Amino acid sequence: MADNSDQAAKAASTPSDQQLTERECDARYAIPHAVPYKDPDPPNPINLSVLPMVHHPLSPETDSITTPSWPSQVTPTLAQVFAGVVANPDMIHKRSTCAITPVERGYWHLDPSSWPLDIQADFWRIVGDNIRAGNCGWNVWCTREVSSEFPACAEIQADGGLGIVRFWCWGEIVGHVWAFMVVASGRWVKWTGARWVAGRGEVVVEMEAVPRQSRGLDQ
């Protein structure tokens, strides 16, 4: 009886996911090498033009084992991060135009030009480390592009920013990859928004930007 009482008391003293603040939630479900929340730093001379333009995963191991159905593409890392972000409903502001099939291909389109350069650098490093480690799954990769096709690229070329980021993934893990980007960016993705574009070129999911001042985070 005493053991049961101790366990009940311990459970009561442990905050649930819904009781955690956004910063506590980020820390509890942090991905490897994730950056902590921090306010923008003053302009600095960081130049990201020397960073790789693409992050590819390692080639998967092959064997003779076959599966009767398409295996889940949700890795333990993605599952953990997704659980942490979704636990806080304030982190989700989305609009969807249609259902996404698990095997559908597409990419998250992200413009990080408004982020401080050190945040952009940390984000790109974290993304690369986790993609190469296989934490984001099979056939998932990320590119950045600096092109006159995008209005923001003139400024990007001037300040040495990442450019337009495209995070390619399967339909099954669209939400998981968005959660991964939120945590990897120190939640800057949440404040700037992003959209998932299907392989046919149609915007299927729109994650609306959440004003930072509305959450009292600029104080």
| Residue at 16 is within a domain | no
| Residue at 57 is within a domain | no
| Residue at 7 is within a domain | no
- Give a three-class secondary structure readout of the chain: CHHHHHHHHHHHHCCCHHHCCHHHHHHHCCCCCCCCCCCCCCCCCCCHHHCCCEECCCCCCCCCCCCCCCCCCCCHHHHHHHHHHHCCHHHCCEEECCCCCCCCEEEEEECCCCCCHHHHHHHHHHHHHHHHCCCCCCCCEEEEECCCCCCCHHHHHHHCCCCEEEEEEEHHHHHHHHHHHHHHCCCHHHHHCEEEEECCCCEEEEECCCCHHHHCCCC
| Residue at 6 is within a domain | no
> How many structural domains is the chain composed of?
1
Domain containing 110 equals 74-203
| Residue at 46 is within a domain | no
| Residue at 185 is within a domain | yes
| Residue at 63 is within a domain | no
| Residue at 30 is within a domain | no
| Tens of pLDDT, residue by residue, the chain (219 residues) | 445 555 444 444 444 444 444 444 444 445 655 554 444 454 456 778 788 899 998 876 665 556 667 789 999 999 999 988 876 665 666 777 888 899 999 999 999 999 999 999 999 999 999 999 999 998 999 999 986 554 444 444 445 689 999 999 999 999 999 999 999 999 999 999 999 999 888 999 999 888 876 444 433
Query: pTM surpassing 0.85?
Result: no
